[in-house]
Structure 1
Amino acid sequence: MGESNESVSVDAEKIYLGGKEHLIRTVSGSVSVIVYGDPDKPALITYPDLALNYMSCFQGLFFCPEAASLLLHNFCVYHISPPGHELGAATICPDDPVPSLDGLADQIIEILNYFRLGAVMCMGVTAGAYVLTLFAMKYRERVLGLILVSPLCRAPSWSEWFYNKVMSNLLYYYGMCGLVTEYLLQRYFSKEVRGSSEVPESDIVRACRKLLDERQSANVSRFLEAINGRRDITSGLKRLRCRTLIFVGEHSTFHSEAIHMMSKLDRRYSALVEVQACGSMVTEEQPHAMLIPMEYFLMGYGLYRPCQFSDSPRSPLSPSCISPELLSPESMGLKLKPIKTRVALEDSD
């Protein structure tokens, strides 16, 4: 699909902890983007997993002072929500076509063109990681690097396809019912934080449960349908031009997917970090585990953490959990030039 510059933005009267929401009309429908930081800095775009938005998928990471200082010191952050997943979203008209994941990847280029962004850093979780990986394959010159959390790259297994179909039926007949919520929480978190009859569930799980209750079931179902129809993009991984950092929880439902993806990437430019005692959503469950690897990764682009946080916090990672490639200067791109803040795009005729 060719690049489009015809997007229209409506600035909502909503401010989220200093960020401003933009509703951008694209070929695949309207999409919410919440922008934090100085727009003259390099751009970091985020994309969440199924039924989540930036608040429920990335707030743990951005509320971690050391990680927030690293990211917000170096980037202007553009949080993209899947269609109908933003805070306060209305139900999408059932007559609107369900966008494919390819369509959602094309939607990102429209967002970048609206904000006049050049090449960007990308961070995605599970389904969002798939969308951003696909975007990086289709628009390689627009991606500086990928930070992927519990990513997907293959078509659904038979068991995943079946469970997704069951969840689709539950969403259709019962909405965001208890069974759907429990399935999603198992997708995101390890058993330790979900709790049991003896141990109460953690605060992050309770907060996520509350946010899931606010989701429009029809909107979640549309994104789920797109995810369940995804294609295998393994063959394109070797052609990625950008460096890639993958995080996956030891107890993630998609642990084998992350291992498979890492095995297909060019090991000179990629690294895998396995986080102990953690589920799929490392950004919420173990955000501190991401700090040191991200510091190494971003050093390759001439970026750094402000000196007031010179001492890295204690990390749940053990040395054996860090892939040797992560500590390789060549792998982390220490010879790369620093990220340019912005590339001017010529207006199309």
Structure 2
Amino acid sequence: MIRIHTHNEGRSLYIDREREKITHFATQISRAKNVDSYINKLMPIMADSSDSVAIDMDTSSPGGKEHIVETATGSISVAILGDPDKPALITYPDLALNYMSCFQGLFLCPEAFSLLLHNFCIYHISPPGHGHELGAASAMSYDYDDDLALSADDLADQVAEVLDHFGLGAVMCLGVTAGAYVLTLFAIKYTRRVAGLILISPLCKAPSWSEWLSNKVMSNVLYYYGMCGLVKELLLTRYFSKEVRESDMVDSCRRSLDEMQSLDVLRILEALNGRADITEGLKRLQCRCLILVGENSAFHSESVHMASKLDRRFSALVEIGRCGSVVTEEQPEAMLMALEYFLMGYGFYRPMGMELNISPRSPLSPTSISPELYKPESMGLKLKPIKTRLPPGSN
């Protein structure tokens, strides 16, 4: 197991720039004939920005053009970013989030942007009713009833239908908490269609009694009162650690929850609250797996349990210190080194000349981590404990 400890001082991993500029960048990428060339031109501009980028959620779609895919259990939204000729990376967000509110921190981090867009075409799957083009009107068109109920298996099967729709073969998968469960279930059911799993604070067991009861309370409040303050606070507690609860990042997420239709969220919540234990199914996985979990995540113990059930030759567990469940938003830069070495095992690299922009004083810097511990072996990571706390007197 690898432990990464980072500091939250002065943390604002969100872009403080005009949303029009970010939208322009993403739009140009989606239209560019030579994506790599455009990325190389764009990276210096992003690197010169303040440490990160923060944007408010908007009904615009800065992640590429959204496509509506009809599945056997309803319509879902898929936003595509990048060159369709490249290998596919599928993303799936946590409960009540969409690709913008769950992955913008990671994809607007310059180093991750370079690494992922250079190697993949990104297919952001949003759960039913959660996409920008679907969410506004979907909940107005029905009253919740059993006929519209979804199961976790339905959500996994929808992923397979998305792959069929776009003619995709084996894909890389990136999921957060509930999304990690859906993609893991998909990988168990469709083993030949998954090349690798990158799971953030994943779930693999059925809900505990406390989680089940909490979800039932949330379901009832959603049904009768909609996306009210209580529901939003319960969700924010699920996503983030206490250290960042008053940050601009959390305020931005809170505003994005305002835009969610309560009945759409209720459908996904009910599906996840009825999820099965898939621990035994993990033995059937035929792909490499990287698990990253926040030290303060409510699902930390479950993620560690999941890692213990995977074949250690082809899996790794990385703990992110002082972080909640949604690492992609709270500490995306802490993912970079593990992510890069995991992808090296598949022959994926950052573009030449694009180095990780890490401060020499950072716990992630080469002076704090012995390079030999990160040699990519059969699965891209060497499973060895790494102490990354700064030595006394180094401040």
Using the size of structure 2 for normalisation, the TM-score is 0.76
Match of 1:332 among 380, 385, 388: 380
Alignment of 1:259 onto 2:307: no
Separation in structure 1 between the aligned mates of residue 311 and residue 374 of structure 2, nearest angstrom: 13
Alignment of 1:158 onto 2:205: no
Q: After the TM superposition, list the runs of 4 or more consecutive aligned residues in structure 1 that deviate by more than 3 angstroms.
A: 314-322, 324-328
Separation in structure 2 between the aligned mates of residue 260 and residue 253 of structure 1, nearest angstrom: 13
Separation in structure 1 between the aligned mates of residue 124 and residue 202 of structure 2, nearest angstrom: 18
Change (3 A) 1:298 1:204: same
Separation in structure 2 between the aligned mates of residue 269 and residue 325 of structure 1, nearest angstrom: 16
Change (3 A) 1:128 1:316: farther
How far off is 1:125 after superposition? 0.3
- 1:215 is matched with 260
Alpha carbons 2:363, 2:369 under 8 Å: kept: no
Which residue identity lines up with residue 291 of structure 2 in the other structure? Answer: I
Q: Secondary structure at the match of 1:33?
A: strand
1:79-117 residue CA offsets vs partner (Å, 9 max, x unmatched) = 000001112512342354211110111111111011000
Separation in structure 1 between the aligned mates of residue 93 and residue 228 of structure 2, nearest angstrom: 21
Alpha carbons 2:294, 2:325 under 8 Å: kept: yes
1:245-292 residue CA offsets vs partner (Å, 9 max, x unmatched) = 000001000000100000000000000110011000000000001111
Which residue identity lines up with residue 234 of structure 1 in the other structure? Answer: T
Match of 1:184 among 221, 232, 235: 235
Gaps of 5+ in 2: 1-58, 383-395
Query: Following superposition of structure 1 onto structure 2, how do residues 1-349 of structure 1 map, counting pairs within 5 Å?
Result: 16-17=61-62, 19-87=64-132, 89=135, 90-92=137-139, 93=142, 94-95=144-145, 96-194=147-245, 201-314=246-359, 327=375, 329-332=377-380
* Structural RMSD (CA): 2.2
Which residue identity lines up with residue 60 of structure 1 in the other structure? Answer: G
Separation in structure 1 between the aligned mates of residue 304 and residue 273 of structure 2, nearest angstrom: 20
Alpha carbons 2:375, 2:381 under 8 Å: kept: no
Which residue identity lines up with residue 125 of structure 2 in the other structure? Answer: I
How far off is 1:307 after superposition? 2.2
Q: Secondary structure at the match of 1:308?
A: coil
Separation in structure 1 between the aligned mates of residue 376 and residue 86 of structure 2, nearest angstrom: 27
How far off is 1:328 after superposition? 5.3
How far off is 1:152 after superposition? 0.1
Q: Secondary structure at the match of 2:76?
A: strand
Change (3 A) 1:317 1:171: farther
Gaps of 5+ in 1: 1-13, 195-200, 335-349
Separation in structure 2 between the aligned mates of residue 317 and residue 259 of structure 1, nearest angstrom: 22
Which residue identity lines up with residue 157 of structure 1 in the other structure? Answer: S
Of all paired residues, the percent bearing the same amino acid is 68
Which residue identity lines up with residue 179 of structure 1 in the other structure? Answer: L
Change (3 A) 1:76 1:217: same
Separation in structure 2 between the aligned mates of residue 125 and residue 250 of structure 1, nearest angstrom: 15
Q: Secondary structure at the match of 1:245?
A: strand
Q: Secondary structure at the match of 1:247?
A: strand
Q: Secondary structure at the match of 1:246?
A: strand
Aligned residues: 314
Alpha carbons 1:153, 1:232 under 8 Å: kept: yes
Which residue identity lines up with residue 276 of structure 1 in the other structure? Answer: G
Separation in structure 1 between the aligned mates of residue 156 and residue 81 of structure 2, nearest angstrom: 22
Alpha carbons 1:272, 1:326 under 8 Å: kept: no
Which residue identity lines up with residue 205 of structure 2 in the other structure? Answer: R
Q: Secondary structure at the match of 2:127?
A: coil
